[in-house]
Amino acid sequence: MPWPGPVHDSFSNTVPFGRGDGAGDDGATLLLSLPPMSPIRKPASANSKPSDLFEQRIHRIHELLEGSDADVTWNDRVVDPDQPSRRRQIDVTVKRDGRLTFVECRLHRERQDVQWIEELVGRRQSLGAHSVVAVSASGFTTGAIAKATRYGVLLRDLRDLSDDDVRKWGSSITLTLYFFAYSDVVLTLAFSAESLARVDEMRILDELARHPVLTSMFNAAARLVGQKLIPAVEEKDLVANFGFRLGLDGLALCGERVADFAVRGKARMVCLRPSALVQTYGAPRQGLATNDAIVENYNLGETAIIHDGSRISTHLDLSALRLPPLHQFRYVSVIGQETLDHEVLSINGLDTLRVQNGTVGIELMSCGDRSDQRTCRPC
């Protein structure tokens, strides 16, 4: 997905990528284009059914509500007592102190009626559950509510809060993601004079584009510039220059040993602050004060923060991001109006920890003598 809202502006002033500041005017720097991590990479949510994503959201809510002493499982398989060789699928199960609770979910447009409640009553009895919770994204009919009350089926739904309700609640969280934006990155590769004469420039570019050394290089750069670029200085538009050597014993390119591997470049921090739709999770027709949980759903894939009083659970869906070239996810900040107990943090899409796309410069030279630097036609 694109960068939400006004955060697009934070990427409009990035330093143009391309030849490094050490390239000079003699064409001595090759340009290496980094490939994407996956040419057809899609957000995780794009590969899942909407009903599965809804069930996973409900699973995360109950995971927080039940606490660490309960076993909360999504898409569980429960043994059928009448047919022990068969296992029956349950959307979410909660196991605690020998008690089994089924949480069944419906993502339909229409309100759920008596028929579904009767099915759940039968399933609870047939499979030996102690209790059952029915969760509907669209609410319940009056008849369904009456039937559930009579037979002890707990009903839950998700309802959007108005802006006025959100203000009354007063516990919204500011979620900020921080990234390093690299520019003017140049790799200097030193070979012996004999090896330098044998290396092929195009083959060097091809091997480097697929080599894990690039991940090591950017991780080392992140550790170095991370001493200056921290969330506290995000508004200062600070640019950190970096330069270092990597000790890479045994590194070979074009079949020739690389004697020295040096890196230089610049980095600055940019941030992304997605907005949220706030929902309440609880029994139908109950007010804000009697809800089970409050959920902030951010416009970043399945990213959400779930509130149970001062306890929160955060799920980051970084797979929904389309990062600009040479950007790398580094930090996340969760700031609320009060002290928070962060019980759960889950992250999807860890590819964003690796730099993808973009262009870096490559200099080839002879060991210990910059005058022997190879002059190469930029690619």
The 10s digit of each residue's pLDDT in 230-264 is 776 655 678 899 999 988 788 999 999 999 999 99
What is the tens place of the pLDDT at every residue in 206-231?
Answer: 999 889 899 899 999 999 998 888 77
Residue 362 CA, distance from chain mean position? 31
Nearest alpha carbon to residue 354 among 12, 53, 38: 38
| pLDDT winner (highest mean) among 30-34, 98-102, 243-247 | 98-102
For residue 378, is pLDDT > 60?
no
What is the tens place of the pLDDT at every residue in 58-75?
Answer: 999 999 999 989 999 999
Residue 15 binned pLDDT confidence (cut-offs 50, 70, 90): very low
Round to whole Å and give the CA distance between 346 and 353: 15
Residue 350 binned pLDDT confidence (cut-offs 50, 70, 90): confident
Mean pLDDT of 136-156: 96
- Which is it for strands 154-160 and 131-136: parallel, antiparallel or unpaired? parallel
For residue 5, is pLDDT > 50?
no
Model's pTM, two decimal places? 0.81
Token output for 331: 């930090």
Can you list the domains of the chain with their CATH numbers? 1-34+161-379 (no CATH), 49-158 (3.40.1350.10)
**pLDDT for res 349:** 86
Mean pLDDT of 11-34: 42
Across 110-125, b (16+ Cβ under 10 Å) vs e yields ebbebebbeebbebbe
For residue 43, is pLDDT > 60?
no
Residue 13 binned pLDDT confidence (cut-offs 50, 70, 90): very low
